[in-house]
Amino acid sequence: MKGIVRVIAVVAVLAIFCAPPVSAQSERAGWVAQVGNDYRILAGVTYLTANNWEAKMDLYLPRYSPGPTPVVMYIHGGGWVGGSKETSLFSILPYLEMGWAVVNVEYRLGRISLAPAAVEDCRCALRWVIGHAKEYNMDASKIVVTGHSAGGHLSLTTGMLPASAGLERQCPGGEELKVAAIVNWYGITDVGDLLDGPNMKTYAVAWMGSLPNRDEIARRVSPLNYVRAGLPPILTIHGDADPTVPYTHALRLREALDKAGVSNELLTIPGGKHGGFTREQMLKIYASIREFLGKHGLSPASAAVQ
């Protein structure tokens, strides 16, 4: 109960105080007041135990959906070595307002397990969602996976990996791990590019630690190595002045997807860095997300919260 109360409280604070126009705050406060009534919130659901560590997720489930609800599976960022699902609540608010079911996922960080543990966990989270979809009135045919930065990378691997990659052996099962679309916010697409050379990043090095086969693992967890025909549609959002994840990662992904004939879009934020976009940019981004999902038959569910 305490976990649920905490989640609702944080969502309320973020929603009220992050709505810039003062004139809109009363309307936003009214919307927040309805969240607890219109959404059933299940906090801290264990979807996997690995290394004696319980991986958990929070579920936000519309109470009054007339049928199975499309699902947004959100994966937080933090360079695979930081962050938490609790710090990502603002990122799920737009989907709650749209009326989607939301699954907010945590995974093993580098201090618990080095690569590729985070990738394995998110694949297992997808298996859990698919396997429990009927129980929670979720539409397993309409799962959209999304996340920022390392969460963008994990969204890509979650939605792109074939079973032959062997990265869901922690949670064997017969379900086909398939998603309907991927929304990638400035995610890493070539992990090896960040381990050495001009694009070396300390967070990527820390995620690999002193693994003797780190180059091999980097290839196994790099989305660029899994581009092929038949992938779900992919929308990438990336600032062209990003100092943390090179913009070239987005360009290379787009080029590879185009060559493979995969439906994809790249929304470039001019002068944009690693998040921290302006209100106007964020409005444009979410309008683009709505349009992108609508093109692929994934228009948001009828709003559960009016």
Q: pLDDT at residue 246 above 50?
A: yes
Q: pLDDT at residue 295 above 80?
A: yes
More confident residue, 306 or 73: 73
What are the pLDDT digits (tens) for 138-153? 999 999 999 999 999 9
Count of domains observed in the chain: 1
Name the pLDDT band for 304 (thresholds 50, 70, 90).
very low
Indicate the range of 18-22, 174-178, 200-204, 254-258 predicted with least confidence.
Answer: 18-22
CA distance 93 to 282: 13
The enclosing H or E element of 256 equals helix 248-260
Q: Is 25 among the domain residues?
A: no
- What is the DSSP secondary-structure string of 222-250? -GGGG--TTPPPEEEEEETT-SSS-THHH
pTM above 0.85, yes or no: yes
Q: Is 16 among the domain residues?
A: no
Q: Is 269 among the domain residues?
A: yes
- Confidence (pLDDT) at 19: 43
- Confidence (pLDDT) at 2: 41
Burial class (CB in 10 A: 0-12, 13-18, 19+), 164: exposed
Q: Give ∠ CA 159-174-130 in degrees, rounded to 5.
A: 50
Q: Is 9 among the domain residues?
A: no
The enclosing H or E element of 57 equals strand 53-62
More confident residue, 66 or 103: 103
Please check whether residue 123 is in contact with residue 161, taking contact to mean a CB–CB distance below 8 angstroms.
yes
Distances (CA, A) of 231 to 121, 133, 157, 180, 258: 20, 22, 11, 9, 11
- Confidence (pLDDT) at 188: 98
- Confidence (pLDDT) at 40: 93
Q: Is 21 among the domain residues?
A: no
Q: Is 233 among the domain residues?
A: yes
Name the pLDDT band for 66 (thresholds 50, 70, 90).
confident
Q: pLDDT at residue 300 above 80?
A: no
Q: pLDDT at residue 64 above 60?
A: yes
Range of the domain at 205: 38-293
Domain containing residue 134: CATH number: 3.40.50.1820
Phi and psi based region of residue 7 (left: phi greater than 0; alpha: psi -120 to 50; beta: remaining): alpha
Measured in Å, how far apart are the chain's first and last C-alpha atoms? 26
- Confidence (pLDDT) at 17: 36
- Confidence (pLDDT) at 7: 46
pLDDT averaged over every residue in the chain: 90
Strand, helix or coil for residue 31: helix
Average pLDDT of the segment spanning 277-287: 97
Name the pLDDT band for 56 (thresholds 50, 70, 90).
very high
Q: Is 14 among the domain residues?
A: no
What are the pLDDT digits (tens) for 223-245? 999 999 999 999 999 999 999 99
Q: Is 26 among the domain residues?
A: no
Instruction: Report the residue count for the chain.
Output: 306
